[in-house]
Amino acid sequence: MTTAAMLNGRATAPIESLLQEQRIFAPPAEFTATARLKSQAEYERLYRQSMDQPEQFWREMSDRLHWSEKPTVMCDWSHPPFARWFTGGKINASYNCLDRHINHGLGDKPALLWEGEPGDRKVLTYRQLHREVCRMANVLKAQGVKTGDRVAIYMPMIPEAAVAMLACARIGAVHTVVFGGFAAEALADRINDAKAVAVITADGGWRRGKIVELKKNVDAALAKTPTVQRCLVVRRTGQSLAMTAGRDSWYHDLVAGVSDVCPAEPLDSEHPLFILYTSGTTGKPKGVVHTTAGYLLGALLTCEYVFDLKDKDVYWCTADIGWVTGHSYTVYGPLACGATTLLYEGAPNFPDMDRFWDLIERYHVSVFYTAPTAIRAFVKWGEKYPQRHDLSSLRLLGTVGEPINPEAWTWYHRVIGGRRCPIVDTWWQTETGSIMCTPLPGITATKPGSCAVPFFGVDLAVVDRQGRELPPNVGGFLVIRRPWPSMLRTLYGDDERFKQQYWREIEPFYFTGDGARRDADGYFWVMGRVDDVVNVAGHRLGTMEVESAMVAHPKVAEAAVVGRPDELKGQALAAFVTLKAGAEPDESLRQELKAWVGKEIGAIARPDEVRFTEALPKTRSGKIMRRLLRDIAAGKETVGDTSTLEDYSVLAALRQDRE
């Protein structure tokens, strides 16, 4: 069922919230003692100021950035839903991420720590990173790239990927990073939509010991992309390549002897910084446009307050730069804060399932930010892998990407955090640009599975179809009721789709597409995408809550629950389950799991079908592709884009496994 359909007819009934989680974890006193925010009163004062005196609040916060010209108006909302933030201001994101810190004496501080999957390593200080960014910026200018031109970046997780983003930002070119897991057709679609004039790529990258043939995909894509004039190729894996004369160039040849002086271009606060395409199930991907000043301030402030970054922290967000999390919390946010950020090229289970824990131990990572799907994989692999390593450097953990089930949360807290690390369970989207709802680590008593409270300036609410705020613990639609600095400005080249997609479903608010409830303490509980809500015999159930109950069983590592057509109920629940090591998938356990869910959250949520599987279909970023599971449960052929699927054999195995 589409989002639009969910918002019409019977689907406007409240979403029933069945999950009850009573555990509360107070922040450790020793963490609070050194935290940026030390009391609930501080949070409430700042939040109220951001709501009641937004002009003053954002003027004060904008002083965290370096401006070539100061803004005169903080927010122009005279033509909703098209916002303009910090109007009159001139700014450059690359300058704020590099020059500003060098000028403040941090030139010799490590900016990027990098490890390739084969084990090769590199450290770039802020001064060294600045030098590489300026050189690439000069290469781009020499290749004819101008302010406002779009540049596609299709790269592995190597330092040059971050360099490319910052080089584009330095000269005012608009980058569109395309995830390296996308196939040639998806790459071509994004290049054509953005009308990119250049592509920055690599010969390949490493993934589980094998070369990912990036340049071959680029060649296939560029056969269909008439706007691309230049292709820059970074040597990573060293294999021989076909190079098209007049279009393709080795980056190391172009950069040899190039000046490392490139002044940052002062840009309007609303100058586009990047376009990032969200992968659609069908139809044309949406090109989300983020502009410079508001986006950068959102990334900076959330890094400061949510991750409580300190000068000596080694910060690691495991997201690929092809996703917005990699943009905001691997590159722009930490570097805007002057932090040290870690990049890792490969898979978490190569050459063994302890690769992440080995990296944390060797680099003394103190702040670790990863996805719930990754955490559930760690649970499945077992505690012996993290127990091989000293994880005592960790002081703060975070999750991102989708709601985390309470059992995975508590495992993460106990096994990885040693019960001493606060967990910031963050909710946000590609479209929001930065974190919208989160615990504040020094002051928020956390509840496993809840993303807690809104960040500064975020007017978050749970409403019905008419936009009326719902009482506590009633499930509804999650909306944002006023503009915020890091919000998307439009969909590239398609203002009408921007209005229709986000602003016309529950007017006049921004509709997130998520269902949620707010509890009596004011904490938000995101219940998953509205189009993942299942109508079972007239009851609207969020599948995330059923998954959480399933994973609470001691033998279950991970579960994905979807709806399938049912003549009697309308929809029935189908659960796809992976088990922990040593558990046997048999009929007895299948019936036990059905009964378990019925006991945990009620008979209405008892799955009609339980399928055991060795793996769930996921993207390379770790997100479960529930759309594919819905097709499998319904016995339909798979439709839509599958180019980011990590392992196609998982689909074949699931289709053979019928209950």
Residue 237 inside a domain? The answer is yes
Single residue among 319, 347, 375 that ends a domain in this structure: 347
pLDDT the model gives residue 46: 97
pLDDT digits (tens, 9 = 90+) for 598-645: 887 777 788 999 999 988 887 666 677 877 888 888 887 655 555 555
Residue 406 inside a domain? The answer is no
Number of domains in the chain: 2
The predicted model gives 129-156 an average pLDDT of 98
Q: Where are the alpha helices (DSSP H) in 412-542?
A: 495-502
Buried (b) or exposed (e) across 561-588, using 16+ Cβ within 10 A? bbbbebeebebbbbbbbbbeeebebeee
Least confident of 21-30, 212-221, 290-299: 21-30
Residue 484 inside a domain? The answer is no
pLDDT digits (tens, 9 = 90+) for 339-357: 999 999 999 999 999 999 9
pTM of structure: 0.87
Q: Are 332 and 368 in contact (CB under 8 A)?
A: no
Residue 410 inside a domain? The answer is no
Tell me the pLDDT of the chain averaged across its residues: 91
* Residue 476, CA distances (Å) to 452, 453, 470, 565, 589 in order: 17, 17, 7, 23, 34
**The domain that contains 578 carries what CATH number?**
3.30.300.30
Q: Is the pLDDT of residue 1 over 60?
A: no
Banded model confidence at residue 86, pLDDT cuts 50, 70, 90? very high
pLDDT the model gives residue 545: 75
pLDDT the model gives residue 653: 72
Single residue among 347, 371, 391 that ends a domain in this structure: 347
Residue 305 inside a domain? The answer is yes
Q: Name all contacts of 41-49 with Cβ < 8 Å and 24+ positions apart.
A: 42/443, 43/440, 43/443, 43/444, 43/453, 46/456, 47/453, 47/454, 47/456
Q: Is the pLDDT of residue 90 over 90?
A: yes
Range of the domain at 323: 90-347
Residue 536 contacts by C-beta under 8 Å, 6 or more apart in sequence? 563, 569, 570, 571, 572, 573, 604, 605
Residue 619 inside a domain? The answer is yes
Residue 480 inside a domain? The answer is no
Single residue among 347, 370, 402 that ends a domain in this structure: 347
**The domain that contains 172 carries what CATH number?**
3.40.50.12780
Residue 399 inside a domain? The answer is no
